[in-house]
Amino acid sequence: MHKDLEKILVSESEIKEIVERLAAEIDRDYQDKDWIMVGVLKGSVLFMADLMKAMKNDFKIDFVVVSSYADGTESTGRVNVLKDISQSIVGKDLLIVEDIIDSGNTLNFLVKYFMAKGANTVKMVTLFDKPDRRKVEVPVEYVGKVIPDAFIVGYGLDYAEKYRTLPYVGILKPEVYS
Ligand code: IMP
Ligand code: MG
């Protein structure tokens, strides 16, 4: 285990089980659609790669980069699009892939943003959900695991751009960010 972690919250094998369950659900629901999986960089990158590999049906992929955190652990509430989607989404079904939903600001913004650009449907899959921290209600269709209110890192999730490459998810020691 990484020295900055208090404990491992979700092991590699549990992540694998979660990803396979979500892939099967999404495969079933999207099998007849011409759709785009849209990853929110950078946090979703490991999750999305494993999710795609576990799916049987074909689909298009794209990425957006948004920012609302300035190297801290609290959402500022303002969401900026730093890199937009690179194909037309008019009339398309979109599935946004997120690492974690916390305040809900990012996903709430992105759904409205893509609908305003003409998407047919915009649904969401998140690997982790911290419902205790929600500030805006967002109906997420696919949730990997509900977790307690703690700051987690690993498997794509960072603190100040660190720990993203860990293959498991752990709770950061509070002294690392306080
Ligand atoms: P929201 O906009 O507050 O829902 O936050 C969503 C984004 O905040 C995620 O995409 C993550 O990048 C980041 N985030 C929220 N909670 C955590 C956490 O516990 N660890 C790492 N990043 C987090
Ligand atoms: Mg982040």
Q: How far apart are CA 162 and CA 93, in angstroms?
A: 33
Query: Ligand 2 mean position to 42 CA, how many Å?
Result: 7
Show the low-confidence residues of the chain (pLDDT under 70). Answer: 69-76
Closest residue to atom 5 of ligand 1, CA basis: 102
Nearest ligand by distance to the CA of 136: 1
Q: How far apart are CA 42 and CA 27, in angstroms?
A: 24
3 state DSSP class of 1: coil
DSSP class of residue 164? T
- pTM of the entire predicted model: 0.94
Indicate if ligand 1 lies below 6 Å from the C-beta of 66.
no
Q: How large is the greatest C-alpha to C-alpha distance in the chain, in angstroms?
A: 49
* Tokens coding 151: 């700051």
3 state DSSP class of 126: strand
What digits encode the pLDDT tens for the residues 6-18? 999 999 999 999 9
Percent of the chain with pLDDT over 70: 96
Nearest ligand by distance to the CA of 137: 1
Determine contact, residues 70/76, Cβ cutoff 8 Å: yes
Domains and CATH numbers, the chain: 13-150 (3.40.50.2020)
Indicate if ligand 1 lies below 6 Å from the C-beta of 99.
yes
Query: Ligand 2 mean position to 43 CA, how many Å?
Result: 6
**Of 36, 52, 54, nearest in space to 44 by CA:** 52
What digits encode the pLDDT tens for the residues 126-153? 999 999 999 999 999 999 999 999 999 9
State the pLDDT at residue 178: 82
**Of 95, 100, 101, 103, nearest in space to 157 by CA:** 100
Q: Which atom of ligand 1 is nearest to the CA of 75?
A: 3
Determine contact, residues 172/151, Cβ cutoff 8 Å: yes
Q: How far apart are CA 102 and CA 112, in angstroms?
A: 17
